């Protein structure tokens, strides 16, 4: 018997997934943890919380599955991208991790763009300087916390901190490293020119590997604590989006994924490093060796829905707890009673700024068009629709770059809701499909572990043997017409309000 484990270090929790070689899920476990926001626009987490969650989820899947540890042939790691974990030479974490959604580094982004040059920056890294990326975080710490920076021995991405704890080695993979703004995405290696230009020593970065390559093995201490076998291989893995794409079978041209989790991501496979000259989309190395991907990211997709639940849905949460059901199920039921377009109510989902297509940390959420006829169902549905409008922004740029779009596979929380699936089909005006598994990045890196340990011949082979289309949702022609009109208004609202976003940011920070 052959088993594989995938571990995803997410924003809200860590998930461990144990599968067999046919892709059947044998056991899963998730442990959640908080996100700290010590100042407006900041976002941090304690890496030791990830480690505690990792240990306990591994123990749970081994215990629940009752599988023999020697049948677990490999482990893959995925994680939230762009975070910066600063460690000293004694392996101590020096400060909380600065997260992907943190917006404090606007000044550092401007510095990087001026120092390297906007065009040269995109030539070197395939991406513009954005507040979410890792390099601006490093410069922020160097400027504002020099005592931390001067003691730093390694700077690790979130999943790579867990790799160090599991194996004792420092390593990363090409897909995750692509999001640091220090990586030569076209050549799939660290950019010496970027590192020199920003005066960041190469030694601070971990060695990079392709996603399927073995980067280390489980130590004796970890084996004793988790129940794993000492020496179990750990592969490079992938950033959460590339890992999720593997888990969705996005390993050929024309198949696009649209994932609504905390963030929202539209992901397209590419045989070459195709770059958006305006820098609206990211171009990163794919977890498929020798391949790349284009990716549009909105920062508050499912996060917008979660904000509503946590802030304005107390009664629904209490009712859901009493009935033993998911509160999101209650909320989407209410949204179903609202009309498509919500009688002119439009939501701009910029609760933590935005990345694609506007790259503006000052952008803020807006409910536009409220009137006395609107009730809670309209507001809930408007949030769901606004998130999908934001996803369509990325899809339109992908089409503009002449990338084929034959099929859109939906996943994440936005795929579990029947209503949200239909809204996506209608707003995209394309059929959307669901596959037979919906386990996200953890499933993708479990497959990568199978490739690295020769359970599968290739990434494509792994996907072919485990992933099938399970459902197809067609667009409703009447809804398509409605959403087309409101999407154009949605697009114009950002441009109308941009100056006011910046004004408000200036007042709040003064």
338 in Cβ contact with 347 (< 8 Å)? no
| Residue 402 DSSP one-character state | T
244 in Cβ contact with 444 (< 8 Å)? yes
**Phi and psi, residue 452, nearest 5°:** -65, -25
* Helix, strand, coil share (%) of the chain residues, nearest 5: 45, 25, 35
Distance in angstroms (rounded) separating the CA atoms of residues 428 and 14: 31
Q: Would you place residue 413 in the very low, low, confident or very high pLDDT band (cuts 50, 70, 90)? A: confident
pLDDT in tens, 244-270: 999 999 999 899 999 998 889 999 999
Mean residue pLDDT of the chain comes to: 95
467 token code pair: 């992933």
Q: How much is the pLDDT for 277?
A: 87
**Rounded average pLDDT over 305-329:** 95
55 in Cβ contact with 480 (< 8 Å)? no
Q: How much is the pLDDT for 128?
A: 92
Task: Report CA 186 to chain centroid distance, whole Å.
Answer: 21
User: How far from 80 is each of 69, 174, 358, CA to CA, in Å?
Assistant: 27, 14, 21
pLDDT in tens, 60-105: 999 999 999 999 999 999 999 999 999 999 999 999 999 998 989 9
Count CB neighbours of 378 within 10 A. 24
β-bridge partners, 487: none
Active-site position among 20, 184, 240, 378:
240
H/E run at residue 481? helix 477-509
Distance in angstroms (rounded) separating the CA atoms of residues 43 and 51: 18
pLDDT at 510 over 80: no
Q: Are β-strands 72-79 and 3-9 bridged in parallel, bridged antiparallel, or unpaired?
A: parallel
pLDDT at 378 over 90: yes
Whether 240 sits among the annotated catalytic residues: the reply is yes
Q: How much is the pLDDT for 40?
A: 85
pLDDT in tens, 11-49: 989 999 999 999 999 999 999 999 999 998 899 999 999
Q: If phi over 0 gives left and psi between -120 and 50 gives alpha, with beta otherwise, what is residue 258?
A: beta
**Rounded average pLDDT over 417-445:** 94
**What is the residue-wise DSSP string for 185-230?**
TTTTEE-HHHHHHTT--GGGSPEEE-TTSEEEE--HHHHHHHSPPT
User: How far from 420 is each of 255, 303, 414, 424, 473, CA to CA, in Å?
Assistant: 20, 14, 6, 6, 11
Three-point CA angle 87, 89, 94, nearest 5°: 30
pLDDT in tens, 131-152: 999 999 999 999 999 999 999 9
Return the SS3 of 440: coil
Residues in the chain: 510
In 413-459 the beta strands, taken as DSSP E runs, fall at 432-435
Q: How much is the pLDDT for 226?
A: 97
Return the SS3 of 438: coil
H/E run at residue 506? helix 477-509
Share above pLDDT 90 across residues of the chain, in percent, rounded to a whole number: 92
Where do the domains of the chain lie, and which CATH numbers do they carry? 3-248+440-467 (3.30.420.40), 302-434+471-502 (3.30.420.40)
Provide the whole-model pTM: 0.87
Q: Would you place residue 365 in the very low, low, confident or very high pLDDT band (cuts 50, 70, 90)? A: very high
pLDDT in tens, 469-482: 999 999 999 999 99
Residues 6+ apart with CB under 8 A from 251: 245, 269, 288, 291, 459, 460, 463
Measured over the CA atoms of residue 182, residue 240, residue 280 and residue 282, the dihedral's sign is positive
Q: How much is the pLDDT for 426?
A: 98
pLDDT at 421 over 80: yes
């Amino acid at each position: 018997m052959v088993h594989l484990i995938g571990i995803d270090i997410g924003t809200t929790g860590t998930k461990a997934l144990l599968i067999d070689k046919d892709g059947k899920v044998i056991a899963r476990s998730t442990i959640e943890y908080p996100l700290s926001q010590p100042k407006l626009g900041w976002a941090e987490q304690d890496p030791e919380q990830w480690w505690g969650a990792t240990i306990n989820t591994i123990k749970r899947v081994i215990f629940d599955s009752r599988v023999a540890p020697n049948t677990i042939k490999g482990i893959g790691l995925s994680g939230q991208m762009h975070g910066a974990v600063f460690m000293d030479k004694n392996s101590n974490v020096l400060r909380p991790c600065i997260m992907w959604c943190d917006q404090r580094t606007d000044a550092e982004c401007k510095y990087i763009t001026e120092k390297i040059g906007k065009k040269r920056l995109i030539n070197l890294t395939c991406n513009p300087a954005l507040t979410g990326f890792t390099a601006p975080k490093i410069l922020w710490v160097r400027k504002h916390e020099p005592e931390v920076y001067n003691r730093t021995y390694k700077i690790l991405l979130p999943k790579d901190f867990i790799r160090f704890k599991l194996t004792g080695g420092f390593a990363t993979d090409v897909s995750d490293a692509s999001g640091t703004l220090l990586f030569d995405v076209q050549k799939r290696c660290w950019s010496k020119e970027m590192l020199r230009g920003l005066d960041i020593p190469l030694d601070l970065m971990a060695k990079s590997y392709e996603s399927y390559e073995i980067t280390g093995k489980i130590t004796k201490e970890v084996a004793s604590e988790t129940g794993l076998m000492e020496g179990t291989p750990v592969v490079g893995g992938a950033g959460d989006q590339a890992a999720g794409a593997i888990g969705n079978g996005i390993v050929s041209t024309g198949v696009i994924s649209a994932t609504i989790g905390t963030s929202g991501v539209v992901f397209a496979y590419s045989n070459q490093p195709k770059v958006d000259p305006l820098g609206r989309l990211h171009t990163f190395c794919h977890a498929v060796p020798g391949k790349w991907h284009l990716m549009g990211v909105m920062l508050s997709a499912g996060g917008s829905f979660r904000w509503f639940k946590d802030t304005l849905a107390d009664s629904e949460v209490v009712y859901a707890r009493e009935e033993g059901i998911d509160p999101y199920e209650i909320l989407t039921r209410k949204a179903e009673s609202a009309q498509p377009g919500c009688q002119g109510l439009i939501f701009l989902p910029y609760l933590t700024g935005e990345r694609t297509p506007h790259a503006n940390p000052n952008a803020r959420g807006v409910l536009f068009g409220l009137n006395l006829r609107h009730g809670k169902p309209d507001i809930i549905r408007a949030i769901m629709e606004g998130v999908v409008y934001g996803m369509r922004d990325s899809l339109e740029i992908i089409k503009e770059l002449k990338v084929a779009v034959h099929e859109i596979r939906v996943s994440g929380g936005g795929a579990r809701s029947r209503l949200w699936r239909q809204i996506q089909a209608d707003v995209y005006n394309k059929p959307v499909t669901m596959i037979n598994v919906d386990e996200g990045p953890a499933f993708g890196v479990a497959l990568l572990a199978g490739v690295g340990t020769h359970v599968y011949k290739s990434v494509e082979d792994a996907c072919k043997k485990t992933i099938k289309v399970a459902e197809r949702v067609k667009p409703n022609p009447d809804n398509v017409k409605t959403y087309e009109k409101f999407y154009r208004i949605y697009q114009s609202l950002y441009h109308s309000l941009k100056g006011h976003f910046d004004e408000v940011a200036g007042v709040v920070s003064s």
